[in-house]
Amino acid sequence: MKILVTGGAGFIGSNVADGFIAQGHRVVVADNLSSGYARNVPEKAVFYQLDIVDAGLEEAFRKERPEVVVHHAAQIDVRKSVEDPMYDARVNVIGSLNVIQQCLRHGVKKIIYASTGGAVYGEPEYLPADERHPIRPLCQYGVTKHTVEHYLYLYRHHYGLDYTVLRYPNVYGPRQDPLGEAGVVAIFTEALMHGRRPTIYGDGSHTRDYVFVGDIVAANILALQRGSGMILNLGWGQEISVNQIFATLKKDLSSDVEPIYGAERLGEIHRICLDSGRAREVLGWRPEVDLEQGIGRTVQYYRQHPDQMSST
């Protein structure tokens, strides 16, 4: 089938696009390259450099007529969402509405939407958080990502546009940008490879659910045919602290560098991990790459691609 991947030049989106191509699908990528890179776009994909908030998106839909849209394009930085909530809403809400409207106008059968499990629940009442957990985001990013879930429900109810929402955990792996996409694995890797001390905000006890990007790709492939009208958490259901991430990377890189501890940042929750039991039942999905394996693969990638480190 023909699949349009918005944000397909970014870290997760480009890996997902690669996965679809490996399955024999035809892929179209739309990305404004604000945080993604042209080098990430698969050679076999058709590429449109455009912004999802702009009218030019319609031309890509009209020309390509995708059957499925996998929507990753977003403003994803929690700090930026706090500092500039208007921009965050413009991209994540207005941009997503533009994508949804184009899907409706051009006969798209389904949207797979990359949402967030790390930001919509707020400080959890229980762990691991499942999809029934109250929605209480503590940052503007979580609010805007959740808002789109409501629009998807509405458009399916009124117009029959199918969807699957995948609520992502903290995703890491090859192509993650140490500057642009603000994942601690990439940030710490970049710093340690260059002998610099990275900053840990807070005391390092904050926990997240870390899933290797290859497992996220697998979930997207499964969602092409499954999960109609559903919201699905992805995760291990295990809390991993920032200090644990740093220690694992330090060991893998044989580094003696120590971190700097700074003040906590507004909008960041303290603990989260996600119950993915529904994804296991509906998609037949479960994560397979554990933290040590995933970090090993990530470090190997950056050793082979030093040009993708921000200091070079």
CB 164 within 8 A of CB 226: yes
Q: Which residue has the tokens 């990638």?
A: 301
Tokens of 201: 């905000």
CA distances, 59 to each of 51, 93, 267 (Å): 12, 20, 37
Element at 304 (helix H, strand E): helix 291-304
Give the integer Cα–Cα distance in Å for 229 and 233: 14
Whether residue 159 lies in the annotated active site? no
Q: Which residue is catalytic, options 113, 121, 141, 210?
A: 141
Tokens of 194: 């260059």
DSSP string, 156-214: HHHH--EEEEEEE-EEE-TT--TTTS--HHHHHHHHHHTT---EEESSS--EE-EEEHH
Closest CA to 236 of 296, 288, 188, 193: 288
Give the integer Cα–Cα distance in Å for 141 and 221: 26
Closest CA to 272 of 170, 143, 149, 161: 170
CA distances, 98 to each of 66, 93, 180, 205 (Å): 15, 9, 24, 39
Tokens of 93: 């809400």
Q: 3-state SS of 109-160?
A: CEEEEEEECCCCCCCCCCCCECCCCCCCCCCHHHHHHHHHHHHHHHHHHHHC
Closest CA to 111 of 178, 156, 54: 156
Give the integer Cα–Cα distance in Å for 189 and 195: 10
Catalytic (active-site) positions: 141
